[in-house]
Structure 1
Amino acid sequence: MKLLTIDDSRTIRRVISGVGAMIGFEVLEAENGDVGIKVLENQGEEVALILLDWNMPGMNGLEVLKLIKADPRWMHIPVMMVTTEGEKDYIIKAIQAGAIHYQTKPFTQEEMASRIMEALGMGGL
């Protein structure tokens, strides 16, 4: 199983990749929504969880989330928002659009590992 992180911050992608590796997952990286969709088109059947930033150039995270949830190939893949946007309105919009989890930045590696496990139905660490 693989994780897909879609975030314009290389640092955040690297941290999530490290956390994923620590708990036994290969992590695919995309620097924006367009690249993330291309990764799904090529490897979507292998992706167990998508970690999605909200604020990115081009399509924002909510737009990417809606595209993913509208596509029968990917609509079953759980999506966790990973963003600096912590206001209630953002969280509500993301959940209504189909996100199953919401993690605000900054986060510790332990928090992220626990959230990933919860989002995959494996319980926290």
Structure 2
Amino acid sequence: MGIRILVVDDATFIRDMIKKQLRDKIPGVEVFDAPDGARALAQLKGQAVDLILSDWEMPNMTGAELLTAVRAMPHDGTIPFVMISSRGDRNHIVKAIELGVSDYLTKPFSAEELLKKVFKQLKLAGKSPTQAVRTASTQGIAFASVDVLTGSGGGTPKAVAPKPINPFANNSAGALGAKPAAPSAPVIKAVETPKAAKGKAQLRFSNNRTFACVIREMSLQLMSCLMQRTDDLPTVFEQAVVDIETGDGSNLARVNGYVHSIQAGENRPDTSVVKIVIRFVDNDAEKFETLSKYIAQM
């Protein structure tokens, strides 16, 4: 029997990104997924898996609750379980260890970091793939995300970024909050118009890259902000974690997302300011409520 892995995360973007990396790097792997712990538990009752990759913060049943339930199973209690979370502080890691976690992966992570954890646990479980794995890179996971979003399959994706949008234009086409053209089919879900806002946040990317930014606009779907230009700027579709700060400087919320667009902050090539738009991917009611209160106060 081949290797079977269960991926659990409430964010579809994250699940699809992980699934593609696993399928690209592990020959013959079977990957199952679930949006929360409750549905993951239901899948485990009907099929055996060799490894579980689970987010911590999810609706209905958290990763910690899922881990507790898995460890209590009479026959499956020893399944390797890797906890994934945007919270990498010592208290969370210690709690996960106490619950019986096999390993811990902090968001945002690169393809190399993900695969290193996966292969370590598969090897310990005696399930090492027979084919050598090519060294992954942060760019690899970013471009894998492009395939997920465009629906393309096969071949090597071209490293061509989409045309940047201007998130601060008032009425230009493609601007945040601009009225979209009439759709050819009925619109199922309207996108909320971002509310102009001022605030501070920290953007976290893989390989311990962090950037302070000033929030200019925010909605429940996305955030646009300004940050200083550096030599290691993030790329379009790269995974990100946003730590939003309150007025007293403490963190308000950690939100998972990806880079939707990035462009120069000024109309000159030597600009030191960059405009970046982060699209959120969480599907957590508690986070939505926190963001809604934050936006209402701005």
Give me the TM-score of the superposition, normalised by structure 2.
0.40
Q: Where do residues 54-65 of structure 1 align in structure 2 (5 Å cutoff)?
A: 54-65=56-67
In the alignment, which residue of structure 1 is the partner of 2:105? 103
Question: 1 or 2, which has the higher strand percentage?
Answer: 2
In the alignment, which residue of structure 2 is the partner of 1:38? 42
Q: Give, as a single letter, the amino acid of the residue that structure 2 aligns with 1:10.
A: T
In structure 1, the gaps of 5 or more residues are none
Residue 73 of structure 1 and its aligned partner are, at CA, apart by: 2.5
Aligned equivalents of 1:56, 1:27: Cα separation in 2: 20
In structure 2, the gaps of 5 or more residues are 136-298
Aligned equivalents of 2:18, 2:75: Cα separation in 1: 24
Aligned equivalents of 2:30, 2:13: Cα separation in 1: 17
Determine which of 13, 18, 25 is the counterpart of 1:11.
13
Aligned equivalents of 1:64, 1:97: Cα separation in 2: 10
| Residues 20-60 of structure 1: CA deviation (Å, up to 9, x unaligned) | 102222210000111100110111x2x11000111001111
Runs (4+) of structure 1 exceeding 3 A deviation are none
Aligned equivalents of 2:10, 2:52: Cα separation in 1: 14
- Determine if contact 1:3/1:26 at 8 Å carries over to the other structure: yes
| Residues 43-97 of structure 1: CA deviation (Å, up to 9, x unaligned) | 1x2x110001110011111111000001113202110001111111110111111
Q: Give, as a single letter, the amino acid of the residue that structure 2 aligns with 1:65.
A: L
Determine which of 30, 46, 49 is the counterpart of 1:26.
30
Which structure has more relative contact order (CA 8 Å, sep 6+)? It is 1
- Determine if contact 1:17/1:26 at 8 Å carries over to the other structure: no
Aligned equivalents of 1:74, 1:20: Cα separation in 2: 22
Q: Tell me the secondary structure at the aligned position of residue 44 of structure 2.
A: helix
Root-mean-square deviation (Å)? 1.4
Q: Tell me the secondary structure at the aligned position of residue 120 of structure 1.
A: helix
Question: 1 or 2, which has the higher helix percentage?
Answer: 1
Determine which of 82, 89, 92 is the counterpart of 1:90.
92
In the alignment, which residue of structure 2 is the partner of 1:118? 120
Q: Give, as a single letter, the amino acid of the residue that structure 1 aligns with 2:76.
A: W
Give me the TM-score of the superposition, normalised by structure 1.
0.91
Residue 102 of structure 1 and its aligned partner are, at CA, apart by: 0.3
